[in-house]
Structure 1
């Protein structure tokens, strides 16, 4: 499809286009000729997709309709945010999260309204629901939020601000709360797990009986694309997952299979792991490894008629293949 032909397609503006999810989303939009994708990025990417219009920005809250970012745009998919910081340097972390995630989001949405944008898809976080489902049912999309950390609080406040804006204007707001996102190119703890497994390191996670929801980046992207035009998505909140919950033990075993390196797991009781981690200041990490965090995506399935296109094992294989390729 030529650039001229693209002009007649639906304009989609993606913020955070250079991030993990953003790159996958832009690739999907670029591959399908019905979209004209535009990406807001803080710096030009090393590799550019041919059909994507990349635009630089500094502060989301400073964007207005006069900048031209919204020209021809029907839908905004807002991924850019301040995420969890391992080594926090801000004197007031919550104020910094609010500046970016609340004020920045609202400034962008107001400019979108002024420019006549129809729909605003906001990628929030399961942390709006809370930190754990230990001793309770899976989180539901419409239950009362209970965020605990500055990131979750800022995302909740951004959701509330967007709902208020939608009630006052013609803007349709769609909120998507993903759980942990993984896939080809994933970093942080998930990549560390693959590295340990690939090296054959024995891990003390052979007796963890928790349940955690995950979502592959391809499944999340597919859901975001479904939210662009689905009439039932307007002014709704959805949870995103693969639809199959795993214990840490199950995840490591299946990830080891995907890597071709059977996991060497020692049956250390979860209570011992939690106690040891707390002593060395890693209590939050042990909660992610040993605690449960499940979401119920039945609303997402029923209201949108959406089913995760990739099964967990298929998504883990794609993640492992990419990881192994990067090792050479």
Structure 2
């Protein structure tokens, strides 16, 4: 039986990447040992570390002005690390709240400094992304924070909002490198690797070099971005296997045609599943409004909870794993990140049509 992995994270990895990791597991780069046993101070690991930054920048089409940092602690640590470094006592940061992870980022920032809510979609159960006209920025914010994709509710920013030159800080954990983006709009981008870039354990940060100079100097050493930039992300022992896997995935993305190729592929996959919802005669009800739909996480409900339980049991029996919605909202969630195949989404869409015809 073919297994299709729809887990929201840790999520599916490209099969070719897993095969290469398997081949090299006990003998990395001719060293005779695993990359997990290789010193992070060795020339072999340093080459991986450097290649990650080079590949990351190449995929974005940037040569200078930014650093790529490989950190630990997940995106959740970034929620506090960002205001610790860049939210001064006399400043305000603007937060756009569009889901649970945006709420968590806001909550951490409020423990550290002054926060202004530029928009909040909680009243609509986070089923949409706010329009540009709805955004009410403060007079002179230190930065504007947003979450580009919301895994729980299945919404995604289709275009990055205009902020009148104020640097944007973005949590891209669940749609990083699923499509191109203009790095010049961002002061800092962060993403846990475990959805689109690799296994859990490593967090990628893209940060503007002029921002590094503005970071607070009284922050604990491990929580300063400048610490990791000066030490090429090797201040302490990094998650070496996670970095190695991240490098392989970045190489795989390059082979798929880069970010433009991934965007085309992801649009095709998302359309297959959304068409199954839209053509079901109302049997399936998507959570997100149409113009806010995520290409990474498709969330929907069936007519009642009993049918949802049956749907989830039958899909699991057929090898479709990870489809239950987040515990806070229920329903069904198909996470179709970069590595999900066309065959996987076609299998899901086919089952959805069959199930709706039988029970509708």
Per the TM superposition, whether the score is higher than 0.5 is no
Scaled by the length of structure 2, the TM-score of the pair is: 0.27
Higher relative contact order by CA 8 Å / sep ≥ 6: 1 or 2? 2
